[in-house]
Amino acid sequence: MPVIAAGTVVLGDRVCRPGWLSVTDGRIADCGAGPPPVAPDVDLGAAVVVPGFVDIHVHGGAGGGYADSPADIDRAATLHARHGTTGGLASLVTAAPKALLAQVRTLADATRRGVVDGIHLEGPWLSRVHCGAHDRAWLRAPDAAEVDALLAAGDGTIRMVTLAPELPGALATIRRLVEAGIVVAVGHTDADYDQTRAAVDAGATVATHLFNAMRALHHRDPGPVPALLSDPRVTVEAIADGVHLHEGTIRHIVATAGPQRVALVTDAMAAAGVGDGVFTLGGLDVDVVDGVARLRGTTTIAGSTATMDRLFATAVRLLGEQVDADTALAAAARMTATTPARTLGLHRTGTLAAGRDADLVALDRDWRVSRVMRRGAWVG
């Protein structure tokens, strides 16, 4: 039963200085504040230990995408694991029907191999008005036969679907997906306020990258943002990469919804961990310049190049300007692990507690990752 000690350990909403945990068979057997009850097998010194990050919206990294080959999928997952992501989904963008089915089957196998925790379909049932970095040629309204075919191809591995609720058949599709145990997210949408509320009433519980790729807020036409942000049933994604959202917007989201309803996501594409260059996303050319990904020849942002440790550091800094250090630290851990895990029903991860998977990240004083453990094994 290896015992791990550190100068700071976040256990739920408690910040323990120092703290410890013990691991048996890939799970946390016990944990607590103060010095460990026995001499530690691993002493992480002044490190800050938080739950392993859970990214519910990420498209790739290390030069590979989750729509690509098994080798690309493994390479992307490994890159994000080294930056602290120990759980979450592999996201797919809009594609032609046959191509999307093939991508789902490949990712279903990766899920069964334990590389990722499941699949997020971001499309193809999205708005042409707010398509973002999705191929408009393949956007379509949901079709019952296609929904059933994708669910069959996923064989239980599709865990979240993003769609635009104003499309014909969208509400019936939301109910169908919820009945199948799938989390439904509202995103890439031109829905008005009432259409968005109807989607939530039908069972949608997530806002895909709030504010981005959706009808803008207007005082006489509020659109989806306030309907999603104010509803206690909804978890809102926020891409805190310094590009997608202004820092004031991030503060507003957290202040309104609270850390218990905010899931920080990377929306990372293949360039994460690689640097500037030319890439593709969903068959579209993407140029990455100064770390910002945009569709070639446009100003349209095409995902991010961020990793979850960067988002965690941003959250600690922004919240630390308004609350005490321990409150900011606990809130950042909640938004990068606890809330996204709860939203997806990943009950074995997301917090450091007895009985949970031993998924943890050790960070130094500058919030850089020093060690990562996933299911009881050190990564890298």
Q: Residues with catalytic annotation?
A: 267
Q: Determine phi and psi for 60, rounding to 5 degrees.
A: 165, -170
| Sign of the alpha-carbon torsion through 99, 306, 63, 375 | negative
> Which whole-number Å values give the CA distances from 205 to 60, 161, 186, 250, in the listed order?
24, 11, 8, 20
177 — alpha (psi -120 to 50), left (phi > 0) or beta?
Answer: alpha
Q: How do beta strands 48-51 and 360-363 pair?
A: antiparallel
How many whole angstroms separate alpha carbon 171 and alpha carbon 200? Answer: 9
210 is written with which tokens?
A: 């709030």
173 is written with which tokens?
A: 């599709």
The DSSP call for residue 215 is P
Q: 184 pairs with which residues across the strands? A: 161
How many whole angstroms separate alpha carbon 162 and alpha carbon 173? Answer: 11
- Structural contact between residues 237 and 263, judged by C-beta atoms closer than 8 angstroms: yes
Q: Determine phi and psi for 340, rounding to 5 degrees.
A: -60, -35
Neighbours of 87 (CB within 10 A): 26
3-state helix, strand, coil in the chain (%, to 5): 30, 25, 45
Go through 256-290 and write b for each residue having 16 or more CB atoms within 10 A of its CB, e for each that does not.
ebebebbbbbbbbbbbbbbeeeebebbebebbbee
